[in-house]
Chain A
Amino acid sequence: MNQNLKYFLFVIPAIAYIGVFAFFPSGEAVYYSFLNSQGQFTLSNYKELFYFNIGGTIINTIIVVSLALFLELLLGLGIAAVLTWEFRGKKAFSTLVIVPMGVATVVAAIAFSFIFQTSGGYANSFLKLIDLPTFNWYANKYISLLTVAISDSWKNTPIVALILLSGMLSIPRDLYNAAALDGAGPIRRFFYITLPNLKKFIAIALIIRGVSEFNIFALPLILIGYHPSILTTLAYDLYSTSTIYLSSAAAVILLAFISVFIAINIKLGGGNK
């Protein structure tokens, strides 16, 4: 029996590490968020967050997360579908597709800040080329958030595409052949075979990306700065300009949102069966 339980030793480093360095600090952050500068229990940190427009920040965060996830799933499905075909140059194409993963987020942010420049940026030059009106990509809050979502989905679509591709390859070919024999066209096959069978992989992609989406920091910081703010930039802004207690409160709200998001996803995705 002793011999058999030795394999427990293998998980102890990982668990101990996570416990000491991840759970303990997050617990401490929750604790700080309820303290005032005299070290007494208080709720005023959360109340004070309203002066920093916490409501609007939460809405902004949700807008960016859902827009980016939507774009990533859409593009990811398209790319994954193409990569299931056999064609010449497929290797080159798949390498091209994952290039954005190799580009540092900071670098991508800088490149996109040039793309979305109001005068002379790529985006506006392109719109002019096809005779569409150009516009100011930072004119208001919603367009700024859209800019962030577009840049982020460029950077992160590849990993979504790869997860979905791996799901698509696990669907038995026979299903498609049978459906084709019954006269189902490509579009119908996609909606009645591919999508239902991909459910679990879409859930995995949503969890992995969704959580990191709540955490995006470098992109919004460089593209739009602190305004309009999202939860991560607000927490960092408060960290550098205000008390650690206030900043902790903002971080705890972020933590709460991520937990809710994971819970919803696990519920919908049917758990880790």
Chain B
Amino acid sequence: MMRERRVLSPYTKSVLHYIALTIVSVIWLIPVYAMIINGFKSNLEVASSPVLVPPSHPTLSPYMAVAHVLETPIINSLIVAVIASLLSTILGSMGAYFFYVLSNSYFRGSGMLSNFLFSLIALGTFIPYEATLIPLTRFIVDINLLNSYPGLIVSMLIFYIPTAALLMSLFVTVVPKSLIEAARLDGAGDVKIFFKVILPLVIPGFISTLIFIIIESWNNFFLPLVLTTTPSMRLVPVAVEAYTGGYGTLYNETFAVATLASLIPLIIFIFLGRYFIRGLVALGGAGKGV
């Protein structure tokens, strides 16, 4: 016998659900909302009007005023984030392919070897930036890459190759191993199998990983803070921090800078977020063996 419940018509119930969801979503988006609307206010209005009220005379001037501040950093960030994420996702996928093949071969010690190498890669994701800070900076200085794109990319790869390898090894497990065996019987080498069989099948996972790493590297603050020395090489997060931390920065321009800095990741998420979620959620069914 079911317990007695307060009787609500399905209609009222779903209306209540929507109201609850809306309230939660609104609270959730307050920081983003604040950023965007306050960028359209004049500096006087930011200080005088209640914070949640939209601007009475929306103005574009704060955005115009700060556009030049972020112009170079955005180009820098794009170059670094795109190259670093592509490289780390490809190298990570190759690593993932290795673990997949290894887990399907049965020579002596393959299990131990696989565990050992996998823990090695996993540990790589966990090393704090601060621990590598001094040796890494010295190394980058020694090879003359301080304050350069290659220097930033090389150091970002340290933290994103392991991340990519971990994520991709979750995705690769969904490929049936009979496919690999069939390709091998047809005389295909590992390179061919990887690029022609595996990669096309894990493209959703590859894209999820790529999106994740682009966002992470775009938002990385610590590495560019330490590894860039001149304003012209700054990446977006450092430029934002430097600008807003400056003396006498106007409030409305602070918000405008913040909005512009988030524009590209936000656009990526709003348009590609669905693929990102789909890729990650697909793991639920397949990720059991991981």
Contact = CB atoms under 8 A, between A and B. Distances in A.
Contacts of A18: 120-121, 124, 158, 161-162
B204 interface: no
A218 B285 contact: no
B132 A25 contact: yes
A123 to B, nearest CB: 10
A224 interface: no
A125 B222 CA distance: 33
A96 interface: yes
Interface in B196-230: 215, 218-219, 221-222
A210 to B, nearest CB: 10
Nearest to B241: A106
22 contacts: A7-B101, A9-B190, A14-B92, A15-B120, A21-B157, A26-B127, A26-B132, A28-B134, A29-B135, A32-B135, A94-B273, A103-B266, A104-B236, A104-B237, A114-B51, A165-B281, A170-B284, A183-B1, A218-B237, A247-B133, A250-B130, A254-B128
A232 interface: yes
B281 A162 contact: yes
A82 B118 CA distance: 34
Contact of B221 (A21, A26, A217): A217
Nearest to A85: B17
Contacts of B1: 183
Interface in B233-264: 236-238, 240-241, 244, 254, 258, 261-262
A7 B102 contact: yes
Nearest to B115: A272
Contacts of B121: 14-15, 18
A218 B258 CA distance: 14
A1 B181 CA distance: 15
Interface extent on B, as a size class?
35 or more
What 5 A-B pairs are tightest by C-beta distance, nearest first?
A25-B135, A166-B284, A11-B98, A14-B95, A102-B269
A107 interface: yes
A257 B165 CA distance: 24
A251 B236 contact: no
Interface of B: 1-3, 14, 17-18, 21, 25, 28-32, 34-35, 38, 50-52, 91-92, 94-95, 97-99, 101-102, 105, 117-118, 120-121, 123-136, 139, 154-155, 157-159, 161-162, 165, 189-190, 194, 215, 218-219, 221-222, 236-238, 240-241, 244, 254, 258, 261-262, 265-266, 268-270, 273-274, 276-277, 280-285, 287-288, 290
A8 B134 contact: no
A163 interface: yes
A149 to B, nearest CB: 15
Given A95-B274, A166-B281, A166-B287, A105 B219 contact: yes
A99 B280 contact: no
A244 B134 contact: yes
Nearest to B98: A11
A215 B128 contact: yes
Contact of B261 (A15, A107, A218): A107
B258 A21 contact: no
B158 A104 contact: no
Contact of A239 (B133, B165, B219, B277): B133
B130 A107 contact: no
B105 A4 contact: yes
Contact of B139 (A25, A231, A262): A25
A192 to B, nearest CB: 16
Interface in A17-48: 17-19, 21-26, 28-29, 32
Chain A interface, >50% SS class: helix
A29 B134 contact: yes
B118 A272 contact: yes
A18 to B, nearest CB: 4
B3 A14 contact: no
Interface in A95-115: 95-108, 110-112, 114-115
Contacts of B134: 25, 28-29, 32, 239, 244, 247-248, 251
Nearest to B158: A21
Contacts of A65: none
A255 interface: yes
Greatest chain A CB density within 10 A among B29, B35, B127, B222 is at B127
B97 A7 contact: yes
A107 B39 CA distance: 13
Interface in A203-258: 211, 214-215, 217-218, 222, 231-232, 235-236, 239, 244, 247-248, 250-252, 254-255, 258
A163 B28 contact: no
Given A7-B98, A82-B21, A167 B265 contact: no
A191 interface: no
Contacts of B98: 7-8, 10-11
Contacts of B290: 272
A26 B131 contact: yes
Given A10-B190, A18-B120, A96-B29, 7 more contacts: A10-B194, A98-B277, A100-B28, A114-B34, A170-B284, A232-B130, A258-B127
